[in-house]
Chains A and B, each alone.
Chain A
Amino acid sequence: MKAVVLGGTGGMGRAVARKLAERGDEIFLMGRDAGDLARSAADLEARQPKNARVAYAVCDLEKPEGFAAALDEADRALGGFDTVVVTAGMFATQEALEADVELTRRLLTVNYTNTVVFCEHARKRLLERGGGQLTVFSSVAGDRGRKPVALYGSSKAGLSHYLEALDHKFHAKGLSVLCVKPGFVKTGMTAGLKPPPFAGEPDDVAKHVVRAMVARKPLLYTPAIWALVMLVIRWLPRFVMRRIGF
């Protein structure tokens, strides 16, 4: 693969980028801090069996005006990418979001509007060259409207919706779209929170995700147990949802 990874400096994105590098895939990193990108690029270079260079460009999901240029740079560095992975995203607790409408606006914009805009830029390029693979991290939080993640969850719900439709629309044209729905995973994003049962590790998630990418799956719950958990939650009647604090 020749893969662009937006969000590959940290968390699950770092783990996915490492898995790809160790497989010998070529990687182009995107993120919002040049220094951090340089360090992550060095890390991936050291992990690559072929010692190939890993290039990068600054791309901030809060600055959609930079998306096209960053993807152009990726195209140049990789000689045309065929895979795009987006793990970058924002999280804040429901409490923090309710207390700060501006934070809410930012989070909704980053996680939904701008992520979709980035994907639109990326999928057009992929379709022009006959297709490819687009993997985007949504969340189990988008599956049902739930009290503790009302706002964050709604941004992911919109994103999941878009990704499903994208898969339907362009699958036949060679674009495979994978919507990843992680449950709780122990990364910097969740560092302040108490891990629930079935909390996952980024490395295990990455293994799972790369396998799903290769198999060209459209949807992945990860860690796998969350597929079951969410099956139950998706079928919970509304009056039950209202009662429980979940």
Chain B
Amino acid sequence: MAEAILSAWGRLALPGVELLGENLESLSLGTTLSRGMGRSYGDSSLPARGTDRVVSTRLANRILAFDARTGVVRAEAGLSLVELNRLFVPRGFFPPVTPGTKFVTLGGMVASDVHGKNHHREGCFGAHVRSLRMRLADDSIVTCSPTEHADLFHATIGGMGLLGHILEVEFTLHRIPSPWIFMESERVRDIDEFLAALGRAAPRWPMTMGWIDCLQRGRSMGRGILMAGRWAEPHEAPKEPPRAAAELTFPVELPDWALNPTTASLFNTAYYWRHTQQRVETIVAPEPFFYPLDAILHWNRVYGPRGFTQYQCVLPRAAGPAAVRAFMELLTRLGGASPLCVIKDCGPEGEGLLSFPLEGTSIAVDMAISPDIQRIVDRLNEFVIAAGGRIYLTKDRFTRPEHFRAMEPRLERFFAVREKWDPHRRLRSAQSVRLFGDRA
């Protein structure tokens, strides 16, 4: 019965009881939700009711099998990417897909079906999962895979913990030629050029993404820096492995006003022009390449006690560059955007029933919580619905149920599978209460 308050990355804190322990099988009996490191921004890892007991998987972190020939790993769901990378990068393996933070658990990666810089090549994490061992709502334990209880498997991938507690995950690590990244970064003048540059980079690079200065309006709207990379070949890489980065902690909670349009704009301008050359090729360590924000622990304190949210949506390729430009215009007009705005072109939709990405352009932007936030999210959502896109549940805390339904044609299929495995909707979260009308 640890803390009576549980919080998520956006600093949303709700009453709740977290059960911490090493044995997920016993902990998960009779509980309504599992959570990992709470790196989801919104309410997906928080309990439906303050009295609900939520399993914290962090201590259930054993590797149960590893085959160095195939890269196949089976591990308990609380194993973190920090630990996985620490152990396997020196041996020449890397997760097939990694999100932009290493402070996540395997269970969280499956439940959100996370994507990374290589989505256009490798799809989401779920595409590399071979099987899952799960505790279901009726307290039974089953193993599911693309061939065994496939409906359960596909609904669990990206299913935000609503199908069952993930106890174990089996997936395949990729071989890497060296522990270094060959990176090319390029300054990009505006949003149209950005989309073109992402399109040009995709066939050439296994990993791409862009940072956008989303406070710029007019001609420079959507300017930013495109980063593309691949694992360096041994002959290009330094002889020594990268040194472990020093861990800095953001020491204090800043006041709400610290991050405001002026400071944000100063930061963005400095960040943009720090990239003094048009195009740079370098060898960099994986840490700053994949996890730039992890260099400072607790960076979410920058937003102050009001907290923040991230708005992430994907607009389908079919909607064209005009839709992306219009979205960026709407975003800058509505205000509320912060220095963090990331753009990425996604590959085809995966098999996860509620998995986020679809072929098109994803835009993610952090926004401080303000009295206006609901209106901003509503307006953005209306735009996304009209463009045929959708939002990412793991980042969300403000989308209205009718909006989500309108952007998610797969929802009925998801509900049907959930009805089969959990007819009483015992497994639920604050997010499923808000979006799917589950009982609180």
Contacts and interface: CB of A to CB of B under 8 A. Distances in A.
Interface residues of A, number: 17
A245 interface: no
B18 to A, nearest CB: 9
Interface stretch (A35-43, A100-108, A152-160): A35-43
Interface in A28-50: 36, 39-40, 42-43, 46-47
Nearest to A22: B87
Nearest to A202: B59
A40 B20 contact: no
A188 interface: yes
Contacts of A14: 22
A46 B63 contact: yes
Nearest to A47: B87
A188 B63 contact: no
Given A47-B87, A187-B59, A192 B2 contact: yes
Interface in A41-81: 42-43, 46-47, 51
Interface string B67-82: 0100001001000000
Contacts of A46: 63-66, 73, 87
Contacts of A39: 62, 64, 76
B21 interface: yes
B62 A42 contact: yes
A42 B65 contact: yes
A43 B63 contact: yes
A245 to B, nearest CB: 21
A188 B65 contact: no
A191 interface: yes
A188 B59 contact: yes
Nearest to A10: B22
Given A191-B2, A192-B1, A43 B22 contact: no
A81 B217 CA distance: 70
B62 A188 contact: no
A191 B64 CA distance: 24
B226 interface: no
B19 A191 contact: yes
Contacts of A187: 59
Contacts of A9: 22
A191 B21 contact: yes
Nearest to A193: B2
A188 B1 CA distance: 11
A1 B120 CA distance: 47
A113 B276 CA distance: 70
B55 to A, nearest CB: 11
A40 B23 CA distance: 12
A72 B21 CA distance: 31
Interface string B1-27: 111000000000000000111110000
A47 B63 contact: yes
Contacts of A11: 22
Given A187-B59, A191-B2, A192-B1, A43 B64 contact: yes
20 contacts: A9-B22, A11-B22, A36-B23, A39-B62, A39-B76, A40-B62, A42-B62, A42-B65, A43-B62, A43-B63, A43-B64, A46-B66, A46-B87, A47-B87, A188-B21, A191-B2, A191-B19, A191-B21, A192-B1, A194-B2
